[in-house]
């Protein structure tokens, strides 16, 4: 299929998603995923190298921005809450899925572990997009959720890396370069932002993109993934971004306007409705396993530490997308799972990005936070919700 046709249809879907988001107030990320499903199954859209790369970069950029939103002070002050919420958010679905897949669905042990890793995730990308659109990144509850999501996906990344690691000479280089960049970025970034910021050609944003491309390149060489160093780099730069809101806003605009839509559209395109229909029962069960284990695990802790926003927090942390899709792709490409298992896992992951988030925004949105602290600023008008 011609690249031009794919670009044309995706451009139309991205534009329509924005209009629908503005008119309905639903997160644009969820609408883009849904339109991606339509595009992949009814409009003959298929992944191409350029789309796959842009999608991957969009996920890395979102993860970096999500890290930059984590308040280090809140992370230190709420370390106990974040560790408990994030830790159980990973462990409960990880173990629950392995038990069901291996002993009930009779998958191989390695396939069951892949399933556990894929369904243990919390989508930093989706959660971050929702929190930015609703303005909750400015409030303590949003920062606690982001910190907890970081702990969850840290567990997912470590599990995938340690259990199925394929170490080579470049793995050490990847680790070394990542650590070096993470250490040096807070030292050199302020001077770069000050010297080259506020120019039309935006050298400081190009510098940040270069760093993310560096992570992607060395991660590929080291048979690893750039998500973890990208998030941690955003985390260590969070103070710089909090002191430079203009840079943060410009980076958000670039990301949400043109780059991250490819990530969400491509996520929806990964679902084969035909294969999903053939394994519909298994899909429903696995989606249920993820949601039940997440809710049963998270809610008691959320009720204790963020009682007024307990269900909102629980539902947002029951999402999944980036790491879940990556884990499933790893299992398929490595021959650990088959195409049917892959379709079921990816569908369960993507639906978990849509349904819990929709319910959280529709019926459990903590409007009292905004009512008690005033309205958000113009900076939060990224997607469909103007709060």
The CATH number assigned to the domain holding 147 equals 1.20.1530.20
Domain count, the chain: 1
pLDDT tens profile 155-180: 887 888 778 767 778 888 888 999 99
pLDDT above 70 coverage of the chain, percent: 94
Q: What is the mean pLDDT of residues 223-242?
A: 83
Half-sphere exposure of 13 (CA within 13 A, CB side): 29
- Tell whether 44 is covered by a domain: no
pLDDT of residue 48: 86
pLDDT at site 100? 96
Q: Is residue 24, in this structure, part of any structural domain at all? A: no
Residue with more model confidence, 79 or 183: 183
Per-residue pLDDT at 271 exceeds 90: no
Q: For residue 108, tell me if it sits in a domain.
A: yes
Domain that holds residue 125: 59-260+278-380
What span, in angstroms and rounded, lies between the C-alpha atoms of 148 and 137?
13
Band (pLDDT 50/70/90 cuts) for residue 387 is very low
pLDDT greater than 60 at residue 384: no
Alpha-carbon gap, residue 264 to 322, rounded angstroms: 9
Q: What is the pLDDT of residue 2?
A: 80
Closest Cα partner for 270 from 347, 203, 196?
347
Expressed in angstroms, the distance from the first to the final Cα of the chain is: 41
Q: Which residue has the higher pLDDT, 340 or 377?
A: 340
Q: Between 140 and 385, name the one with better pLDDT.
A: 140
Per the domain annotation, does 272 fall within a domain?
A: no
Tokens 């050490």 map to which residue? Answer: 172
> 80 exposed, middle or buried (CB, 10 Å; 0-12, 13-18, 19+)?
exposed
In the chain, the percentage of residues whose pLDDT exceeds 90 is: 31
- The residue with greater pLDDT, 273 or 164, is 273
For residue 374, name the pLDDT band (cuts at 50, 70, 90): very low
Which tops the pLDDT comparison, 248 or 54?
A: 54
For residue 246, CA distances in Å to 76, 80, 198, 200, 243 come to 26, 32, 8, 13, 9
Q: Select from 125, 126, 127, 120 the least CA-distant residue to 156.
A: 120
Residue 371 has pLDDT above 70, yes or no: no
Q: 22-26, 146-150, 315-319: which range is least confident on average?
A: 22-26
Across 233-241, average pLDDT: 86
What confidence category does residue 228 fall into, taking pLDDT thresholds of 50, 70 and 90? confident
Mean pLDDT of 344-369: 86
344 vs 331, which has greater pLDDT? 344
Residue 10 resides in a domain: no
Rg of the chain in Å (alpha carbons): 20
pLDDT band at 317 (very low <50, low <70, confident <90, very high): very high
pLDDT in tens, 183-223: 999 988 888 888 877 777 788 889 999 999 999 999 888 87
Confidence of residue 377 (pLDDT cuts 50, 70, 90): very low
- Mean of the per-residue pLDDT values of the chain: 84
Mean local confidence (pLDDT), 220-241: 83
Q: Is residue 386 part of a domain?
A: no
Quote the pLDDT of residue 378. Answer: 38
- The pLDDT, as a whole number, for residue 372 is 57
pLDDT band of 38, cuts 50, 70, 90:
very high
Q: What is the pLDDT of residues 106-138, one digit of tens each?
A: 999 999 999 999 999 888 777 877 887 778 877
**pLDDT for the residue numbered 193:** 81
CA distances 79 to 59, 75, 93, 300, 310, Å, are 26, 5, 22, 17, 17
According to the 3-state scheme, what is the secondary structure of the chain?
A: CCHHHHHHHHHHHHHHHHHHHHHHCCCHHHHHHHHHHHHHHHCCCCCCHHHHHHHHHHHHHHHHHHHHHCCHHHHHHCHHHHHHHHHHHHHHHHHHHHHHHHHCCCCCHHHHHHHHHHHHCCCHHHHHHHHHHHCHHHCHHHHHHHHHHHHHHHHHHHHHHHHCCCCCHHHHHHHHHHHHHHHHHHHHHHHHHHHHCCCCCCHHHHHHHHHHHHHHHHHHHCCCCCHHHHHHHHHHCHHHHHHCHHHHHHHHHHHHHHHHHHHHHHHHHCCCHHHHHHCHHHHHHHHHHHHHHHHHHHHHHHHHHCHHHHHHHHHHCCCCCHHHHHHHHHHHHCCCCCHHHHHHHHHHHHHHHHHHHHHHHHHCCCHHHHHHHCCCCHHHCCCCCCC
C-alpha neighbours within 13 Å on the C-beta side of residue 24: 15
Q: Give the closest residue to 236 by CA, choosing from 179, 183, 176.
A: 183
22 located within any domain: no
Is the predicted pLDDT of residue 287 greater than 50, yes or no? yes
Place of tokens 């930059």: 68
In a domain, 112, yes or no: yes
Whole-prediction pTM value? 0.77
């Amino acid at each position: 299929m011609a690249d031009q046709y794919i670009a044309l249809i995706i451009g139309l879907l991205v534009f329509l998603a924005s209009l629908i988001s503005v008119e309905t107030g639903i997160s644009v990320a969820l609408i883009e995923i849904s339109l991606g499903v339509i595009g992949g199954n009814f409009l003959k859209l298929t992944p191409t190298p350029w789309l796959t790369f842009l999608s991957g970069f969009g996920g890395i950029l979102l993860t970096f921005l999500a890290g930059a939103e984590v308040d280090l002070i809140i992370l230190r002050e709420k370390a106990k809450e974040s560790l408990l919420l994030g830790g159980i958010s990973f462990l409960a679905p990880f173990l629950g899925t392995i038990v069901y897949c291996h002993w009930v669905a009779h998958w191989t042990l390695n396939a069951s572990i892949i399933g556990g890793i894929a369904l243990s995730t919390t989508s930093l990308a989706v959660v971050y997009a929702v929190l930015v659109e609703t303005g909750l990144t400015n409030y303590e509850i949003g920062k606690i959720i982001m910190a907890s999501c970081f702990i969850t996906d840290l567990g997912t990344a470590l599990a995938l890396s340690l259990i199925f690691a394929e170490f080579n000479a470049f793995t050490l280089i990847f680790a070394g370069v990542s650590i070096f960049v993470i250490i040096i970025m807070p030292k050199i970034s302020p001077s770069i932002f000050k010297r080259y910021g506020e120019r039309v050609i935006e050298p400081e944003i190009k510098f940040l993109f270069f760093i993310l491309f560096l992570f992607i390149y060395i991660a590929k060489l080291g048979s690893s993934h750039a998500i973890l160093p990208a998030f941690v780099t955003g985390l260590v730069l969070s103070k710089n971004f909090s002191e430079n809101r203009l840079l943060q806003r410009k980076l958000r605009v670039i990301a949400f306007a043109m780059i991250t839509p490819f990530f969400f559209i491509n996520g929806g395109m990964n679902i084969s409705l035909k294969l999903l229909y053939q394994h519909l029962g298994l899909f429903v069960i696995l989606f249920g396993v993820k949601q039940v284990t997440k809710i049963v695990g998270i809610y008691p802790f959320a009720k204790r530490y963020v009682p007024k926003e307990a269900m909102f927090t629980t539902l947002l942390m029951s999402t999944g997308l980036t790491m879940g899709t990556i884990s499933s792709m790893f299992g398929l490409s490595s021959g650990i799972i088959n195409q049917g298992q892959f379709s079921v896992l990816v569908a369960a992951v993507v639906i978990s990005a849509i349904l819990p988030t929709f319910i959280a925004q529709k019926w459990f949105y903590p409007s009292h936070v905004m009512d008690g602290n005033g309205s958000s600023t113009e900076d939060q008008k990224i997607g469909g919700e103007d709060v």
